[in-house]
Amino acid sequence: MMSGKIPPELGNLTNLQNLDLSSNQLIGKIPFELFTASKLNRLNLSNNQLSDQIPAEIGMLSRLQYLDFSQNKLDGPIPEEIGDCQALIFLDLSKNRLNGTMPYQIGNLDFLQTLLDLSQNSMAGEIPAQLGKLIRLEILNLSRNHLSGPIPSSLQDLISLQHVDVSENNLEGPLPDNKAFYQAPNTSLIGNPGLCGEKAQGLSPCSKDTSSEKQNKSNRWKLIIAIVIPIVASVLLLILFGILIFQHRFRADRDKTEKNSGGRSSFSVWNYKSRIEFEDIVTATENFDEKHSIGRGGQGSVYKAILPSGDIFAVKRLHPSEDNVSSDEYQMKTFKSEMYSLTEIRHRNIVKMHGFSYLNGSLYFVYEFARGGSLGEWLQEEKKAKILNWDLRLKVIKGVANALSYLHHDCTPAVVHRDISGSNILLDAEFEAKISDFGTARVLKKSESNWTVPVGSYGYIAPELASTIKVTEKCDVYSFGVVALEVILGKHPHELLLCLQSGGYDMLFSYILDKRLAPPTGPIVQELVLAVTLALLCIRENPKSRPTMHQVSSELSAGTILPLLAPLQMLTLQDLMDVFSHITTNRV
């Protein structure tokens, strides 16, 4: 067991990623130098005797995912800079002597998921409404403080919340309209005399009238009734007339729907924990209003559907085709393609499909909702791009490679995606890449023709599709190469591709690294060199000279080490190609 103070020199360990000094007898301040270890993603100082305030420099840890300072003697307010630790998934500051108000910047921790525990401190003031933005949060504990005022109604938006404890405060007013609050045991709510909620165990109803108030209300109601009854009678007649018209139109629409769907059920869910009706999806998106749209691709628009149960889905509605082929025929062909592909596919790096609908001539797909958004969004936004460090970017590249290897080599018959791009790769809360949007996918059956019209996203389509329309796995290989370079460069490699087409392989390797990140050091350099080398092989103009995705996935998983012919700052792309060619020749 260690004792004494935390050495400030630990901050000099620039490659430090995990620091666990919990359950010791450490005393004194937390040295601010500790927060200069910019690669730190896990910090645990819990169960010690640390005192004084949490340094504001904590906001420098932009990659930090796990923070535990619980069971110490820390005092003072929580620094608002903690809101800059936007990669945090776990935050525990419980059982200290923290005071002041709760910083609203905690609401900026978009990825906070596992825990937010500020219990057993001395914080006062109101709960900031910004906490309602923590839609991934599963456990919230604010108990045993001096918090006052109402619980913000915005906390009803905590759709992932499973457990909550706000006991032993001075909170008042109704509970938020949230399942976790309504199902919370009495022990999680007691100690708040002004708290009310008819649905919560042990709480008084939120509205109580005195006898005089009741009498006044009774008199007012008599006056209102005398005035309103004649008006209501007239309105009811109008309503009945409107209902008759509505029923007539509803029957007509229903007949049309049944005709379009061939009398079959318009919705089916086969891969989800509970039954969902398509009408629930329509209601949640307000009949697919644009304000619920979260993306638009070449094949369709994607909407976010939040159901009253708290379940969230991504719903894709296909665009009508403008080809000479009839829209219904074209959409049904695309629909069957995605249906066939996704009903058979099960892979951690491929988005799950929960259901489908063919209704009134429109096609819909219901997917799992990837909370992290698309890879393209992460690379475009400055703050998010900095969170997406070299380790996470390599994780994304490996995940996409594994998914494509599965589609091409483990599915029988093979499946070609045909639209691999930054916008069609989603990230979950753990930064696991998931390929989505199978609207253009083709199943390569030997008994059928694999000729088709060129499809895909501009800038990712293999060059041979300009002169031929035969679908092969090598189309996906090329697109993967473009995406891999995009991940390394931090933007679409349009200029790089043009340069390479004219033989510009004398370009320095360091030139294609995203300048928003610190230059890579240590073992990560070898992994990046390998990833870039494989990406360059994937974008070769001749499809036959490109590797298979099985080969790419295997090389990345094996972590093949390429002997560097020059220092990193002098290494060229041609050096990478020469070394890899030499290694593969020797293998043969």
- Helix axis angle, 390-405 to 473-489, nearest 10°: 180
- Tell me 406's DSSP state: I
Residue 475's nearest CA partner among 505, 452, 448 is: 452
419 given a catalytic annotation:
yes
Query: Is the Cβ–Cβ distance between 564 and 529 less than 8 Å?
Result: yes
Q: How far is CA 565 from CA 110, 218, 485, 510, in A?
A: 43, 92, 21, 14
- Tell me 374's DSSP state: B
Q: How far is CA 474 from CA 153, 238, 404, 555, in A?
A: 52, 65, 11, 17
- Tell me 522's DSSP state: T
Residue 185, phi then psi, degrees to nearest 5: -70, 165
CA distance 281 to 314: 10
**One-letter identity of residue 54:** I
Query: Is the Cβ–Cβ distance between 505 and 532 less than 8 Å?
Result: no
- What is the distance, to the nearest Å, from the Cα of residue 244 to the centroid of all Cα atoms in its chain? 46
Residue 405's nearest CA partner among 459, 358, 345 is: 345
Spell out the alpha helix ranges (H) of 158-210. Answer: 179-182
On the 0-12 / 13-18 / 19+ scale of CB atoms within 10 A, 586 is exposed
Active-site choice (419, 437, 476, 575)? 419
3-state secondary structure of 493: coil
C-beta atoms surrounding 238 within 10 Å = 9
What amino acid positions are annotated as catalytic residues? Answer: 419
